[in-house]
Structure 1
Amino acid sequence: MKLPAFFIAHGSPLLALEDNDYTRFLARLGQDLPLPRGIVVFSAHWDSPEQLVTVDGQHETQHDFYGFPDEMYELVYPAPGDPLLSRRICELFKKHNLAHQPILGRGLDHGVWVILQKMFPKADIPVVALSVDSLRSPSEQYEIGRMLAPLRDEGILFIGSGGLIHNLRLLSEKDQPEDWALSFDEWIAKSLEAWDLPSLFAYEKKAPHVREAVPSYGREHFVPLFYAMGTADEGRRAQRMIQAYQYGTLSLNCWMLD
């Protein structure tokens, strides 16, 4: 069973408590997908120059955010890990001479559990979290994802969790998205649907309003896209399944990659 890969925006941590079109979409997506044997998530909230891999048999829940309602800190997502899947991932990294490090006891950050809590609320599917390196080139990030592509044939679901537009300094109270945010997302959509790697890899020079959408201090939220795309290199098909916005600029979207 070969599953598609996804890029999924995880938005604000408050998404875990919200009931809206986007969270209901995530719930339906989890119900509609064939049951994965395991889930591998490249998380924007684990940025490291070395490739890191969780190897836990059971995960704790990280509450890696501040100033939120008390209810947020009571939420848990007690998903199991899969040490054998972690070992398989490490073997593939080793095969491609990628320096990597197994990590025990980190727990799942909110970039992982907020979306999985909506998609698979029973928390009964094994999860392996992987770091990203926002300082690598997009082509390197893509190649790391491609190293793991064989696991898609083994029932593994890959998710890149981040945000194509994630600039907390430009959030507003507007109900409607800013024009520049729409323009950036549409450029990404056109490039993704064409699987135009030269343009996407040069997004910092070619995409409109890129400095607003992907500020230098927030690049880690954009790059999970390339890792997820790499796992889908064989088919090179991209479909935007939903597009929404919060706070005027926070882009909430899901891309299926196959």
Structure 2
Amino acid sequence: MTQPALFIAHGSPTLAIEQNAYTSFLRQLGQATLKPPRAVVIFSAHWDSPDQWLTTDRRHETLHDFYGFPEEMYRIRYPAPGDPELSEEIGSMFHANNLHYRLSEGRGLDHGAWVVLRAIFPEGNIPVVALSVDSKRSPEEQYAIGKMLTELRRQNVLIIGSGGLVHNLRMIGDEDSKPFPWAVEFDDWIGEQLEGWNLRMLFDYDKKAPHVRNAIPPYGREHFVPLLYAMGAADDDRQAVKLFQDYRCGCLSLNCWKFGAEDEDR
């Protein structure tokens, strides 16, 4: 069984308690679209570190790494199992590619991971290995780290990058704001490069993409880079398909991209 790689926008933490078109899409993704994976490997924007970390837990705690949200959100638990054997395999892949890595036990799943996974796999019974991102690495390096894990997709492991293509909290509008034209133009440009697998342009997005300073502020780069990690994991089968697109508050982009072909697509 071959799984795709996915980039999934996790939006606001309130996604965990919302009922809307995006949460319906994510439920459908897990219930009907995806074949059940044996495990999930997830790169989260909320684990940004110059070191490459991966979890080794047998059971994950739930991190409530946000402030000022409804009390019910702090009562949510998503105690997904880990997969230490898969963690060891990932470590071997990193070692073979001369990537220094560190092991984390007991960190827990941050909301960039569990909010998305809970929406897709609500039973919480699929093993999860969480990995950090490094927003200060070059796009080429971020893509290359994802590429190191390509073989896992052919072992029925789903690889996810969780972040947000347009994620500038200082520019969000009202809840009922229509999508801001600059946000749409940026998303459309990124989409064109993804569909053409145009790595030259994507790796130079910081200079080439329209409205890039609005879409990816210097303090928010970590939300964009999970896209490159997920995309790299499908380097052997360069297909990109947008599965969903919507906006909240004018410029909080909610989208999902699928990279690589599944068995049924071959």
Query: For 2:227 and 2:238, how far apart are their aligned partners in 1?
Result: 13
Distance in 1 (alpha carbons) for counterparts of 2:147 and 2:188: 25
Aligned residues: 258
1:22-171 equivalences under 5 Å are: 22-32=22-32, 33-171=34-172
In structure 2, distance between residues paired with 1:102 and 1:239 = 33
Aligned to 1:20: 20
Q: 1:230 aligns to what? A: 232
Aligned-partner Cα distance in 1 for 2:218–2:40: 29
Correspondence for 2:193 among 184, 188, 191: 191
Amino acid at match of 1:232: A
Tell me the amino acid that sits aligned with residue 95 of structure 2: K
Quote the Cα distance in structure 2 between the aligned partners of 1:49 and 1:12.
25
Per-residue CA deviations over 1:107-137 (Å, capped at 9, x if unaligned) read: 0000000011110000000000000000000
SS of residue matched to 2:22: helix
Which of 190, 202, 205 is the matching residue for 1:203? 205
Matched residue, 1:241 = 243
* 1:10 match: 10
Q: Write the distance in 1 (CA, Å) between the matches of 2:171 and 2:77.
A: 30
Task: Report the secondary structure of 1:256's partner residue.
Answer: strand
Q: Give me the CA root mean square deviation.
A: 0.5
Letter paired with 2:63: Q
CA distance in 1, matches of 2:258, 2:22: 15
Q: Distance in 2 between matches of 1:152 and 1:244?
A: 27
How far 1:31 moved relative to its partner? Answer: 1.0
TM-score by length of 2: 0.96
User: 1:87, 1:207 → 2: CA distance?
Assistant: 38
Structure-2 separation of matches of 1:257 and 1:56: 27
Distance 2:117 2:152 in 1: 19
In the alignment, the residues of structure 2 paired with residue 118 and residue 249 of structure 1 have an alpha-carbon distance, to the nearest angstrom, of: 22
Give the CA deviation at 1:27: 0.3
SS in 1 for 2:244: strand
Q: Deviations over 1:31-50 (max 9, x none)?
A: 12111000000000000001
Q: Tell me the residue number matched to 2:264.
A: none
Q: Secondary structure at the match of 1:168?
A: coil
Tell me which stretches of 4 or more aligned residues in structure 1 moved more than 6 Å: none
The farther-off stretch of 29-38 and 133-142 is: 29-38
Partners of 1:107 and 1:24 in 2: how far apart?
Answer: 26
Q: Which runs of 5+ in 1 are unaligned?
A: none
Between 74-83 and 174-183, the greater mean CA deviation after superposition: 174-183
Name 1:250's counterpart in structure 2: 252
Q: Name the aligned partner's letter for residue 4 of structure 2.
A: P
Percent of pairs with identical residues: 60
1:175, distance to aligned residue in structure 2 (A):
2.8
SS in 2 for 1:186: helix
